[in-house]
């Protein structure tokens, strides 16, 4: 969205004032911002100025300045979202990135916490924690670019939600700059804290519409001594019972359980250009990638093997391959996390991030496939996700018209979700893309309360305008 000449001249003068206060590194011109990659499809940012504060004081100044100048701010994390959260809605926005705020201020092994700025990249925190024999439990394929602030903004999930919960469960405290440019010190460093309303929860998952998270106190755990990984082939009808058997049999060590329909595995492992080797030769209706993590590698391995052998003997699963080395474990996870390969295979596709009760997943996907085939016989449906926490990633392609027909496709995807008491957004938020769907599917009293919260915390509507509510 290009700015009209008059607005551009006004922007130039205003941005010059920010540079005078915060230095030249604090502002990226709109033309340069527009050359930045935005997502895996090759889209770029809108041609809007990008503000880059170096600390909380500069965030506060920029928010107050935007307020006075009649501008709005779109907070930017690692740009790995899927719901058009960074698309401008008015043309009077500026981007605000915390990419210069990447300090890991301290890690305390005894308290098992990390105090970090919101621009810290997930992988950087994982590695810093590992150096102290600690674990930052959140993990996801975009770990090399996703930021802590972005995970907080969307209440991200990832691969270990089964065991450790969503990002909400990893946050002990926050520092937040409000829409009025005030700093809220909510930086508690303890797990139990019932001193009044838990205000930090308002900002976790709010997609930057209620405040800008600048710092966080993150909960860490002891690092695991062993990791035991396998891919299983099974019937769809056996997925719920297989998950229950794994959770019980592995004694609480099951950290991840990823479900893939055959189309996903075929794309990743079949054909001359397939990027990965097929781990199972037996074809099944579904595939589970599981990982158990514990403190006693030898006994954990014996239990892991025994549980799988029992499940094979009792025909809960049809086939299994167990990773015998770090390289084999990484190869299995590479299949699940190679989203660029999926994007290349389905050049024109629409992706959805939804939650469905585990018992209804097979029926939901079957029903959706039939609906899509009836409307678009040439359609392709690829489904995978974090089955243990209800999250499915649904990818639909109907050919060159996919983007033009995305709203109609979305209606079909969401219809089965709502009917089964699921959620139209599992871990990527609402943004602009799902706003209409959210409003049409939540009860009016719920939407009314959301609008009231937005009006109270951001009366001028300067934070990520047009998103969510």
CATH number at residue 277: 3.30.70.2190
End position of a domain, from candidates 337, 369, 402: 337
- The answer on 361 and 267 residing in a single domain is no
Pairwise CA distance, residues 140 & 150, whole Å: 13
Within-domain flag for 78 = yes
Q: What is the pLDDT of residue 46?
A: 87
Tens-digit pLDDT profile for residues 157-180: 888 999 999 999 999 999 999 999
Q: CA–CA separation, 145 vs 352, rounded Å?
A: 20
CA distance 94 to 210: 16
Could you give the CA distance from residue 353 to residue 351 in angstroms, rounded to a whole number? 7
Tell whether the model's pLDDT for residue 300 goes beyond 90.
yes
Residues 25 and 133 in one domain: no
**pLDDT at residue 430, rounded to an integer:** 87
401: CATH: 3.30.70.2740
| 443 domain residue, yes or no | no
Q: Do 356 and 325 share a domain, yes or no?
A: no
Indicate whether 331 and 412 sit together in one domain: no
Measured CA to CA, the distance from residue 84 to residue 430 in angstroms comes to 8
pLDDT at 5 over 80: no
Q: What is the CATH number of the domain that holds 115?
A: 3.30.465.10
Q: Phi first, then psi: what are they for 95, rounded to 5°?
A: -75, 150
What is the extent of the structural domain holding 192? 104-222
CA distances from 311 to 135, 246, 252, 253, 425 (A): 30, 9, 17, 17, 33
**Same structural domain for residues 25 and 79?**
yes
Measured between alpha carbons, how far is 159 from 255 in angstroms, rounded to an integer?
A: 8
Same domain, residue pair 271 and 357: no
* Mean pLDDT score, 386-414: 91
Tens of pLDDT, residue by residue over 97-155, are 999 999 999 999 999 999 999 999 999 999 999 999 999 999 988 899 899 999 999 99
User: Domain check: are 118 and 208 in the same one?
Assistant: yes
Residue 458 domain-assigned (yes or no): no
Same domain, 185 and 245: no
The sheet that has 72-76: what strands, in order across it? 27-28, 50-51, 93-97, 72-76
From the list 253, 282, 278, the residue with the least C-alpha distance to 265 is 278
CA 356/CA 224 separation, integer angstroms? 30
191 lies in some domain: yes
Domain boundary among 41, 68, 100: 100
- Both tokens assigned to 110: 């005894």
pLDDT in tens, 25-84: 999 999 999 888 776 566 788 889 999 999 999 999 999 999 999 999 999 987 776 667
Q: Is residue 9 located within the same domain as residue 83?
A: yes
| Shared-domain flag, residues 245 and 284 | yes
pLDDT digits over 222-272, tens only?
999 999 999 999 999 999 999 999 999 999 999 999 999 999 999 999 977
Q: Has residue 243 been placed in a domain?
A: yes
Which residues on adjacent β-strands are paired with residue 218? 114, 171
How many domains in the chain?
4
- Inside any domain, residue 196: yes
Are the C-beta atoms of residues 109 and 132 closer than 8 Å to each other? yes
Last residue of a domain, one of 100, 117, 139: 100
pLDDT-derived band at 428 (thresholds 50, 70, 90) equals confident
- Residue 151 near residue 138, CB atoms below 8 Å: yes
Higher pLDDT, 41 or 210: 210
> Which tokens hold the place of 225?
């001594």
pLDDT score at 426: 83
**110 and 207: one domain?**
yes
H or E segment at 366? helix 361-375
Q: Is residue 450 part of a domain?
A: no
pTM score, whole prediction: 0.90
CATH number of the domain residue 86 falls in: 3.30.43.10
167 and 237: one domain? Answer: no
A 10 A CB-CB count for 332 gives: 21
Model confidence pLDDT, tens digit, residues 323-374: 999 999 999 999 998 988 888 888 789 999 999 999 999 999 999 999 999 9
**Structural domain includes residue 272:** yes
pLDDT, average across residues 211-232: 97
* pLDDT, average across residues 310-321: 96
pLDDT at 96 over 90: yes
């Amino acid at each position: 969205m290009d700015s009209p000449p008059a607005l551009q001249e006004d922007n130039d003068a205003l941005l010059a004032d920010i540079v005078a206060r915060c230095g030249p590194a604090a502002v990226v011109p709109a033309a340069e911002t527009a050359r930045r990659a935005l997502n895996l499809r090759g889209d770029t940012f809108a041609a809007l100025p990008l503000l880059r504060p170096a600390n909380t004081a500069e965030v506060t100044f920029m928010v107050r300045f935007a307020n006075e100048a009649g501008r709005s701010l779109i907070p930017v994390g690692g740009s790995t979202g899927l719901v058009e959260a960074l698309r401008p809605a008015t043309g009077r926005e500026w981007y605000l990135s915390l990419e210069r705020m990447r300090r890991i201020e301290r890690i305390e092994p005894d308290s098992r916490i990390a105090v970090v700025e919101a621009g810290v990249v997930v992988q950087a925190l994982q590695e810093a924690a590992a150096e102290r024999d600690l674990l930052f439990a959140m993990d996801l394929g975009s770990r090399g670019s996703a930021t802590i602030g972005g995970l907080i903004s969307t209440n991200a999930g990832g691969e270990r939600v089964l065991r450790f919960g969503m990002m909400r469960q990893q946050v002990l405290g926050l520092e937040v700059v409000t829409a009025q440019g005030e700093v809220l010190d909510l930086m508690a460093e303890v797990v139990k804290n019932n001193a009044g309303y838990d205000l930090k929860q308002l900002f976790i998952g709010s997609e930057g519409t209620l405040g800008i998270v600048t710092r966080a106190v993150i909960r860490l755990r002891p690092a695991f001594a062993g990791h035991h990984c396998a891919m299983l082939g099974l019937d769809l009808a056996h997925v719920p019972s297989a998950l229950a058997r794994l959770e019980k049999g592995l004694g609480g060590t099951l950290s991840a359980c990823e479900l893939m329909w055959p189309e996903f595995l075929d794309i990743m492992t079949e054909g001359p250009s397939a990027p990965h080797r097929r781990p199972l030769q037996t074809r099944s209706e579904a595939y589970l990638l599981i990982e158990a993590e514990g403190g006693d590698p030898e006994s954990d391995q014996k239990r892991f093997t025994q549980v799988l052998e029992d499940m094979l003997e009792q025909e809960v699963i049809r086939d299994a391959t167990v990773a015998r080395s770090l390289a084999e474990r990484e190869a299995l996870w590479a299949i699940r996390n190679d989203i660029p390969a999926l994007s290349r295979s389905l050049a024109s596709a629409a992706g959805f991030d939804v939650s469905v009760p585990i018992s209804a997943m097979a029926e939901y996907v079957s029903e959706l496939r039939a609906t899509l085939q009836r409307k678009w016989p040439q359609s392709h449906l690829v489904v995978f996700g974090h089955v243990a926490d209800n999250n499915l990633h649904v990818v639909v392609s109907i050919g060159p018209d996919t983007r033009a027909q995305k709203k109609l496709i979305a209606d079909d995807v969401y219809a089965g979700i709502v009917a089964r008491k699921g959620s139209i957004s599992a871990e990527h938020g609402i943004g602009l893309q799902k706003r209409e769907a959210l409003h049409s599917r939540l009860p009016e009293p719920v939407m009314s309360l959301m609008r009231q919260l937005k009006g109270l915390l951001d009366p001028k509507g300067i934070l990520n305008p047009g998103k969510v509510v």
